[in-house]
Copies of this chain bind each other. A is one copy, B any other.
């Protein structure tokens, strides 16, 4: 099990070449403590001469710090490949983490095996903190994080993890804006395709819908499904049409749901937006792929990533930051 490359130079070698002690070299390297200009010059020459590069395993061992932060993406294949939000979050997190001289390490959870391996990676002390994207409540990775008290932050808001701060968006306010607009553009019978009412995001979107409609809210026009999926959109829209054939406005709880709804409407011979106005949520890849393109809520992905990174960094400094809720923008396209 010999390593293939040549043996790397150590501080010891540098010290010998420079005619100083290891301690002096270390101080020069880290800019900490005193070191004379002359010694520094000799050390720098020696470093170049022997091709020294610091051994981080040794450094991490003694410093109990890795200068690395994990970015755990916990999505089914499809979403990871398609959802532009994930990429934006990643870039935002990376920017802040890099600025703080840490290294971002992206860990992909794509199977149960992956979850186990990533958990033990986090437990293994390879990173000083972690950003968790779209984790669920019962999540092996989150368990590990909580158990070892790894400084971490969620992007999104899984319930039942009060110990870990999160970066969320104001689902309720966004839903309110969307629904109000539907109403103000003349829609009289407005329904909602609600999803995941057992999660905060789902419940809050329904609450915002209700807020906007006030006394005109009609429980009969809310059709629920456990999932934020295309198929959920098809089936709930079909059911909504059955309950209220004269529906002319629909708030779908996500873009995928909206896409399914549009398909169901088309099958039923309705046109969008003429017969029925449809709005979605997330501004995911679905939004532009739909025909017509979806009016939807744009998530400030990069800013969410930046905020999550700051949450972790602050914990690294010993602080106990509060969770963050970010405002959203609604983008009006052609579907309503």
Contacts and interface: CB of A to CB of B under 8 A. Distances in A.
Contact of A82 (B58, B84, B114): B84
A205 to B, nearest CB: 25
Contacts of A124: 53-56
Interface in A105-133: 105-108, 110, 113-114, 117-118, 121, 123-126
Interface string A289-323: 10000000000000000000000000100100000
B87 A126 contact: no
A244 interface: no
Contact of A55 (B55, B56, B88, B125): B125
Contacts of A104: 107-108
Most buried by B among A107, A124, A151: A124
Contact of A105 (B5, B55, B107): B107
A126 B95 CA distance: 20
Most buried by B among A57, A64, A125: A57
Interface in A71-124: 71, 77, 80-82, 84, 87-88, 90-91, 94-95, 98, 103-108, 110, 113-114, 117-118, 121, 123-124
A4 to B, nearest CB: 7
A38 B5 CA distance: 41
A106 B103 contact: no
A328 interface: no
A58 B55 contact: no
Interface residues of A, number: 52
Nearest to A61: B57
A81 B81 contact: no
Nearest to A54: B124
Given A5-B149, A57-B125, A61-B55, A94 B114 contact: yes
Contacts of A196: none
A98 B82 contact: no
A3 interface: yes
A177 interface: no
B117 A98 contact: yes
Contacts of A105: 105-107
Contacts of A65: 1, 3
Interface string A125-152: 1100000000000000000000011010
A5 B118 CA distance: 20
A68 interface: yes
A288 to B, nearest CB: 8
Given A94-B114, A98-B113, 7 more contacts: A4-B149, A4-B318, A5-B148, A57-B66, A71-B106, A106-B106, A106-B108
7 A-B pairs closest in CB distance = A106-B106, A81-B87, A57-B60, A57-B61, A56-B124, A105-B105, A5-B149
